[in-house]
Structure 1
């Protein structure tokens, strides 16, 4: 028993050491090029119909906090695949072959869902959200002129919130499939109201305090959950129909 515990602790120490080294190196690399990452997040603005768009800093330390925050967020997204690989290597030796195949499918599904969601959000959703917000700040008459000058830190945080909600939405099918395998389709259908509460909680936690923003964030999460349950129900009925033929 002590030998097994020592082996596990040694493995945890090695994995933690590599994660710490890679995370430190990745963060320093991202911090060395902060303006490039800020430029990527602000890339939709050159195509905006507003020609005098610019960011401002209202505090002396805001530029530093923006650089550090951007570096941390970029480091997390770059380090996430490596972190998942380390967890995978730590857990897989203790699993049976059937469990490995099941977890491998979930791992591939997680990556397959994450990257399309992230790309679509960054290329299409973020520019449209910012263009919509800027159109609300434009006035149609000369009686009142409203000129929007966003803070760079607010811009970064709102962009991160949008990307984070997209990342959560991409992992909802994986979570629902895990719940389906552990508790079954009927149990999830009976407790469907909890998924609505979960969608509202995530939307309220990671969106601005605006009811319309929360509704827009809540609907995709709940729609993906319902779509996954519907797909699982179809697969369940299909397997039941094939079961008599498999016995023969």
Structure 2
């Protein structure tokens, strides 16, 4: 039986098509998560708990910068963190194993998930639109992975270092629950990955006419405030950490303005040619 064309498909046909793309995307995540579950020792000992050791590259780099600036009293040059990690629930380690594997599976299979999403959307686009969006999956995946690395190597160690050394009384010892530490690493990495998708989001919002470069320029100062608030939420409440996180987000916002302007310019050029 021949496959129906996009114009011949009913609403239920579209839902059926979407269902199969979601099934394939989910299957890709499950397969990747299964592989991650097998290599759990490497994922936890090296990746997840990497930022809990002072030998982590971020701490070593910040320690060298501090020494270069003549700052001797810094937590980045300590021998070890003043806390221990404990598991306080019966199924805590099992739950951490399962959910971390799912998160890892999603990150690894992100390009495939995007491919399935794009395979569902692209038939409804014009041939010229598909041609102009040819690099969507590659660019979106690269931005996502850069964001994940930024969250892992910048946001996570800055947050963990601050919270581990924050003390309201000498009578209190830090004994962090394993699920709390793991959640910090996972959420910081995933959230940063999605934040770095801003240029892609702006591209499509401009394509459908919701956003314009004029709008983005007009509300740039408000965007700056939002970025600073976002930085304050996902980082420790010190100016240096907030600036470190805010700078790449502001750069992404500026890139988004340029992308929006290019989209609008191309649309006007096509209208003139028509």
| TM-score (normalised: structure 1) | 0.71
Describe the SS at the equivalent of 1:44: helix
| Equivalent of 1:81 in 87, 111, 117 | 111
RMSD of the TM alignment (CA)? 4.1
Cα distance in structure 2, aligned partners of 1:165 and 1:220? 16
Cα deviations by residue, 1:26-55 (Å, 9 ceiling, x for unpaired): 333333443332221111334162178641
Cα deviations by residue, 1:187-242 (Å, 9 ceiling, x for unpaired): 333455764686578668x748x8669x9398457624642355458869xx79xx
1:94–1:229 Cα change, 3 Å: closer
Q: Shift of residue 153 of structure 1?
A: 0.5
Question: Tell me, which stretches of 5 or more residues in structure 2 are unaligned?
Answer: 57-78
Describe the SS at the equivalent of 1:149: strand
Map of 2:142 onto structure 1: 112
Cα distance in structure 2, aligned partners of 1:196 and 1:223? 7
Moved more, 107-116 or 195-204: 195-204
Q: Shift of residue 176 of structure 1?
A: 2.5
Correspondence 1:160 to 2:190: no
Contact 1:138 1:147 in 2 (8 A): no
1:191–1:134 Cα change, 3 Å: closer
Correspondence 1:31 to 2:61: no
| Equivalent of 1:43 in 38, 43, 50 | 50
Question: Tell me, which stretches of 5 or more residues in structure 1 are unaligned?
Answer: none
Q: How many pairs are equivalent? A: 234
Contact 1:55 1:150 in 2 (8 A): yes
1:129–1:63 Cα change, 3 Å: same
Cα distance in structure 2, aligned partners of 1:211 and 1:130? 12
Q: Shift of residue 15 of structure 1?
A: 2.5
Map of 1:184 onto structure 2: 212
| TM-score (normalised: structure 2) | 0.65
Map of 2:69 onto structure 1: none
Structure 1 residues 187-198: aligned runs within 5 Å: 187-192=215-220, 195=223
